[in-house]
Amino acid sequence: MIRLILQRLLWALPVALGVVTITFITARLFGGDPTELFAPPEATDELRAQIRERLGLADPMWMQYLRYLADVARFDFGISFSTNQAVSTDLTERLPATLELGLTGLGLGALIGIPLGVFAAVKRERVPDFLVRGFTLAGMALPQFWIGLVLIWIFFVTLGWFPGPVGRLPIEVRPPEPITGFMLIDLALLGDWSSWRLALWQLVLPAVTLAIASMAPIARVTRASMVEALQSDYIRTAVAMGHGERVLWFRYALRNALLPVITLIGVLAGNVFGGAVLLESIFGWPGLGQYALQAIEGSDFAALQGFVIYAALLYVITFLLVDVLYIVIDPRMRHA
């Protein structure tokens, strides 16, 4: 397992370098001029030149690139032009919000999607299977942001059952001093259960939106893998040995069918943990996705580059965990 982890880490180095290079070039070619953030409307060309010099944008492109590579090697992503603080600090402050939403939404999606896929597979080509396939097809076809807007319209605007899309807490509630950064955990540690319930209520709609969007592909992949597993020789052997249906489904078939499901969950987790831009923007969620959108809108090169590197590292860590789970679930992988 240690050898596998080291191999994945070594493969991550050229990937990270490629991500840094492409992001650096793209941000400077298509991101606009960040001096507009600092220069007043009546600024002269001389003042603009001074601002560019202070920001390090007056140097040749290759010099900016080499300087940035040296900074990244020290995990120094620079100073955000928008917030005027270290990008690493901004990202670290916003990561818990993204993880809290992502873990909750993906957890719900997996808890619903995997049993649905198993149920559809064992009822293959019957009415329950058709219903599950139709439901999951609709979940995959509908854009995530549209699902979120519909949920807001129904449960906030029309019924008033859930609070509006204003972030992790209502506007009138002061957030606590961060301990772990996870709002529900911090409020529980402080014993502030009234605010904890408000935070949980704020989390429901964005988490359900994410759960619906993730549940659909998880259920479909689980169904396809289970159908293939149930037609395998070892299942027929287990049937001949007299094992019950639940043992066949969950002990034998599902364990082998989980490998592609875990891969899919890893892909979904990478997308979410890297910042679900549209989802966080719709619900005013102060996570990595919203930070990236603000960086793009403000031509904030340092923030945008730092975000991309951060997201790439999260992807690497996620797929490293997927590889470890492969080894745990499938003993054959330990001797590969």
In-domain check, residue 58: no
d(CA 120, CA 151): 26
Six token digits for residue 29: 């070619």
More confident position, 172 or 234: 172
Query: What domain count does the chain have?
Result: 1
Query: What average pLDDT does range 72-99 have in this prediction?
Result: 83
Q: 215 exposed, middle or buried (CB, 10 Å; 0-12, 13-18, 19+)? A: buried
> pLDDT tens digit string along 233-284?
766 676 676 666 666 766 667 777 778 888 888 888 877 776 577 788 888 8
In-domain check, residue 129: yes
In-domain check, residue 330: no
In-domain check, residue 244: yes
In-domain check, residue 260: yes
In-domain check, residue 247: yes
Which CATH number fits the domain that encloses residue 220? Answer: 1.10.3720.10
In-domain check, residue 94: yes
Domain that residue 253 falls in: 90-288
Q: Considering only CA atoms, which of 18, 6, 10 is closest in space to residue 69?
A: 18
d(CA 149, CA 177): 31
Q: What is the chain's alpha carbon radius of gyration, rounded to the nearest angstrom?
A: 24
Q: How far apart are the first and last CA of the chain?
A: 11
CB 142 within 8 A of CB 209: no
Query: pTM (2 decimals)?
Result: 0.77
Query: What average pLDDT does range 304-331 have in this prediction?
Result: 75
In-domain check, residue 307: no
CB 321 within 8 A of CB 1: no
> pLDDT tens digit string along 149-169?
999 999 999 988 888 888 888
Helix H segments across the chain? 2-30, 45-55, 61-73, 87-122, 127-141, 144-152, 183-190, 193-230, 233-240, 245-246, 254-273, 277-282, 288-297, 301-329
CB 215 within 8 A of CB 207: no
Q: Is the pLDDT of residue 31 over 80?
A: no
3-state secondary structure (DSSP) of residue 174: coil
